[in-house]
């Protein structure tokens, strides 16, 4: 690492998940009555960056793509101890899928420059694809570690040791910097904002807003125009436990696999879905 540690945290502002409903007519999320919040795992990513700053010094930048109402939330995150915030706000960014979102965020990170560590949440509470952090790493051609729950520097501070959650345990990765991390939700306790700091921010606003014209990206790659995917339908899933049946399949592994195949095929047919294969 050259000089001080510069961490950048990607914060997505999302509707509070418990207040969002599905509009059955339009098959879209009805966010009109929902309050907004910073995506919860992003707060864990911010706390991880601030804890690194406490231990090693340096600075923390924030980056968000969203409408202008995101700016006050960035100020609240700045009051927790971050140093500068960048808001990407332009109608041209609207309707972005994960490809266009990660491309846009990556272009801004490139423009900000000198970033050692990009921290994201593990996934958003609305889109919930978990594709944006790996997307950013791919566009910037950087190494990545997902589902991180703790980090530490090695002696050289050229690498970071990342403990990440895997299916049946955890693994430690030695990742060269600069790098992109996605941070596991609830991995730490985000600190409260410092209200005195918030008052100071009002006098000297460290939120920079960039539009599409500020980024070195072909407009055809932004927003809906640059998004090969779109959400065409939404459905509600019955709550856990409703209509749940339990059956233990007994036999040799081959017999069990065959019985499982039969049960899945029966279920798909009863749900009116085509069951393929033999």
Ligand X SMILES: Cc1cc2nc3c(=O)[nH]c(=O)nc-3n(C[C@H](O)[C@H](O)[C@H](O)COP(=O)(O)OP(=O)(O)OC[C@H]3O[C@@H](n4cnc5c(N)ncnc54)[C@H](O)[C@@H]3O)c2cc1C
Of the candidates 38, 80, 88, 76, which has an alpha carbon nearest to the alpha carbon of residue 60?
Answer: 80
Minimal distance in Å, beta carbon 100 to ligand X? 7
Of the candidates 124, 114, 111, 140, which has an alpha carbon nearest to the alpha carbon of residue 45?
Answer: 124
Residue with tokens 């995917």: 229
Residue 145, judged by CB atoms within 10 A of its CB (0-12, 13-18, 19+), counts as buried
Pairing of β 36-38 and β 13-15 = antiparallel
- 64 sits near ligand X (criterion: CB under 6 A): yes
Stretch that binds ligand X, among 127-135, 165-173, 208-216, 253-261 (CB under 6 A): 127-135
- 190 sits near ligand X (criterion: CB under 6 A): no
Phi, then psi, of 246 in degrees rounded to 5: -130, 135
Minimal distance in Å, beta carbon 87 to ligand X? 9
- Subset of residues 194 to 233 that bind ligand X, contact rule: CB under 6 A: 229, 231
CA–CA separation, 151 and 161 (whole Å): 6
- 124 sits near ligand X (criterion: CB under 6 A): yes
- 117 sits near ligand X (criterion: CB under 6 A): no
Cis, peptide link before residue 178, omega less than 30° from 0: yes
Minimal distance in Å, beta carbon 200 to ligand X? 25
- 143 sits near ligand X (criterion: CB under 6 A): no
Minimal distance in Å, beta carbon 67 to ligand X? 10
Residue nearest to ligand X as judged by C-beta position: 127
| Chain centroid, CA 91 distance in Å | 21
Closer to ligand X by Cβ: residue 98 or 144? 98
Instruction: Please state, in angstroms and as integers, the Cα–Cα distance from residue 62 to each residue in 21, 203, 204, 261, 273, following that order.
Output: 29, 19, 16, 48, 45
Minimal distance in Å, beta carbon 211 to ligand X? 15
Closer to ligand X by Cβ: residue 128 or 199? 128
- State in Å, rounded, how far the first CA of the chain is from the last one: 56
Closer to ligand X by Cβ: residue 67 or 259? 67
- 89 sits near ligand X (criterion: CB under 6 A): no
* Contact yes or no for 182/122 (Cβ under 8 A): yes
Closer to ligand X by Cβ: residue 81 or 133? 133
Binding positions for ligand X, rule: CB under 6 A: 10-12, 29, 39, 41-42, 63-66, 96-98, 101, 105, 120-121, 123-124, 126-133, 229, 231
């Amino acid at each position: 690492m050259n000089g001080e540690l510069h961490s950048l945290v990607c914060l997505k502002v999302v509707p509070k998940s418990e207040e969002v409903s599905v509009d059955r007519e339009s098959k879209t999320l009805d966010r009109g009555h929902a309050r907004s919040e910073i995506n919860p795992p992003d707060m864990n990513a911010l706390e991880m960056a601030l804890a690194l700053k406490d231990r090693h010094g340096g600075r923390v930048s924030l980056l968000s793509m969203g409408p202008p109402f995101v700016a006050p939330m960035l100020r609240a995150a700045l009051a927790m101890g971050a140093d500068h915030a960048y808001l990407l706000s332009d109608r041209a960014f609207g309707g972005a899928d994960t490809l266009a979102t990660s491309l846009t965020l990556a272009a801004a990170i490139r423009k900000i420059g000198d970033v050692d560590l990009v921290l994201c949440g593990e996934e958003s509470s609305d889109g919930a694809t978990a594709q944006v952090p790996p997307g950013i790493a791919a566009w910037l051609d950087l190494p990545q570690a997902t589902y991180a729950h703790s980090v530490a520097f090695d002696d050289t501070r050229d690498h970071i040791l990342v403990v990440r959650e895997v299916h049946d345990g955890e693994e430690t990765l030695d990742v060269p910097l600069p790098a992109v991390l996605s941070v596991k939700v609830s991995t730490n306790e985000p600190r409260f904002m410092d209200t005195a700091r918030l008052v100071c921010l009002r006098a000297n606003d460290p939120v920079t807003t960039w539009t599409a014209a500020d980024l070195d990206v072909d407009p055809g790659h932004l927003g809906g125009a640059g998004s090969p995917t779109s959400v065409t339908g939404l459905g509600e899933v019955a709550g856990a436990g409703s209509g749940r049946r339990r059956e233990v399949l007994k036999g040799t592994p081959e017999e069990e696999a065959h019985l499982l195949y039969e049960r899945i095929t029966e279920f798909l047919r009863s749900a009116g879905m085509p069951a393929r294969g033999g």
